[in-house]
Chain A
C-alpha cells in the first residue's frame, strides 16, 4: 500500500467522520428540545425517484446526460442516464436549528457511499430573513442546479444537456448564507456560498478526479407575480488530476524549443492545474396558466487554454391542458473559439507520419484542443403527463445538431468528430416524489 493511498484514505475517513457526526445529529432525539408546542422538534422523511429509458447515440458519439456518466452508443437503450433514487431526512430540533441529509443513488464513476451523499448540513435560521448552513450542499450555479435530480420538479425529460451537461460538480462542502425578504409585491432571495468539491470527470477513455477548491458564488432570485428571475455568478479554481494530461505535458516538456518553439508553452497549457473558471448566469421563468415559458443563459469564462469560453442557453415553451403539459425547447451551446490550432514542429518540418513520435505528440495535443469544444444545438418536443399529484410520466424527442469539433458534451470513443452530425434521442421516464 503506497503512502499516497494511505494519505487519501485518511483524508477520506476524516470526511466520513464529519458525515457520521451529521447523521448522528439527524438521528438524535429531537424530543430533547420539544416543549408543549406540537410543532417544535420533528423529523420527516421524503424522497424522489425517476425510472427513465433513453435511446440514442451512434457509433462515434455516446449520449450522456452530463459528463459524470458513461455514454449510450449505437442507438442503444439505457436506464442508467436518468434513473435515480433519492431519500431525504429533515430533522427540526427547534424553530431555529435543523439538519438535513439526502442520499442520491444513481450511476456514477465513483460508487462509494460518500459520493452518494448529496446533502448533509446543519442549518441555523437566525430570523425570517437570515439563514446559515454548514456541511454538504449542491453547487448552486444555475436555476435547476439545486433540483436537477428531481424529475418531478421540472417539465422536461431532463435539464437541457447544452446547459447542464458541462456542470460536473454535484456538491460542495462548505457554508452558505441566504438572505430572503418579502417586498411589497415580490420576494427576493440572495445567497452567498463558499466551499470545495471533488468529482469524477470522464474524458475519452479516462476518468479522473477533478478537484474544485475553492468555489465561491453569489446569486439572487426575484419572484414577482408570474415572473421569476435569477442572476448568478460563481468562481472556481480547478485541478484535474489526469494521468494522460500529465504524460502529454511531460512529453512536450522534453521537446527542445529549438525543434518545436511552442512545446514549452504547450507543456504548461495542457495541464488543468490551478485554472480559474467564472460562471455567469441569467434565468427567467414566466408562469401564467396555461402557459409556462422558461429560459436561461450562461457564460463560462475559462483560463484553461484548452477549454475555450463557452456560451449556452435554452428557451422552453409549455402549454398545460388538464393533466398534460406539452412542451418544446431549443437549447444551444457554443464555444467562443474553435479548437486551438496547434502549430506543428517546423524546424525541421516533420513528415505527417503517424509513426514519428514528434508527429504523434503534435496530433495528441491537437486532439486535446479538438476535444474540448462545444458546438451544438437541440430542438426538443415532448409531453409531461401528471398521472396523479405525485407521479408524472414524461416523453421527449430530441434532435441534436453538432458542428465538426463540437462534441465536448458527448462521450467519444476515439477521435473527435471532424464533420457535422445530427443525432436523435428518445426518452421516456416516470418521476415521483414521496
Chain B
C-alpha cells in the first residue's frame, strides 16, 4: 500500500518535472523593446550584457529560487539545472564580473516592478500574463 503510494508520488514528480511549459519574457508596456531573440534573452540573463539590443539599460529580474517557472526558464534557455545556474553565477559574482539578476519572489511585486520600470525585464508563466506588461519573446 505504502509502496504504491510512493510509486504514484514518484510518477507524479517525474511527470511534472518532465513537462516544460511555455515561459514568456515580458517588459513594461512603455518599453521601446518589442521583440527579443532567444540569444538576446540569454545574453541578458547570463550577465554577458547589461543592455537591450537598442542600447538602453536592461535590468533582468529573477523569480523565486525554488520556483518551477525559474527551473523551467533556465532549463529551456541554457539547459542548466538550478544548481548549475548557481555554480555559473558564483563564478561571475565572486570574481566581480557580474551580479545575478535581482530576485523578486512575490509574483505580484514582480509584475508591478515590470510595469513601473522601462528597463526591467522578467520571465513569467502563462498564468501571470496581463495587459499591463508586454511579451517580447517566449521560449518553450
Contact = CB atoms under 8 A, between A and B. Distances in A.
Contact of B96 (A39, A119, A323): A119
A178 B91 CA distance: 16
A102 interface: yes
B94 A102 contact: yes
Contact of A95 (B57, B86, B91, B117): B57
Interface stretch (A146-154, A272-280, A329-337): A146-154
Interface stretch (B5-13, B46-54, B127-135): B46-54
A153 B90 contact: yes
A37 B117 contact: yes
A133 B79 contact: no
Contacts of A21: none
A187 B96 contact: no
B113 interface: yes
A152 B49 contact: no
A38 B117 contact: yes
* Range of interface residues on B (Cβ < 8 Å): 20 to 34
Contacts, number: 83
A88 interface: yes
A403 B80 CA distance: 41
Contacts of B81: 323, 386, 389
A152 B85 CA distance: 11
Given A102-B94, A123-B96, A150-B91, A39 B49 contact: no
A39 B94 contact: no
Nearest to A125: B50
Contacts of A433: 86, 90
B90 A152 contact: yes
Contacts of A48: 90, 94
Nearest to A392: B83
B59 interface: yes
Given A46-B93, A390-B83, A433-B90, A128 B49 contact: yes
A86 interface: yes
Contact of B90 (A39, A90, A147): A147
A121 interface: yes
Given A42-B102, A102-B94, A123-B96, 8 more contacts: A37-B119, A38-B113, A48-B90, A138-B95, A146-B91, A150-B91, A392-B83, A392-B87
The 7 A-B residue pairs with the shortest CB-CB distance in the complex, in nearest-first order: A146-B95, A389-B82, A386-B83, A153-B90, A153-B91, A39-B59, A433-B90
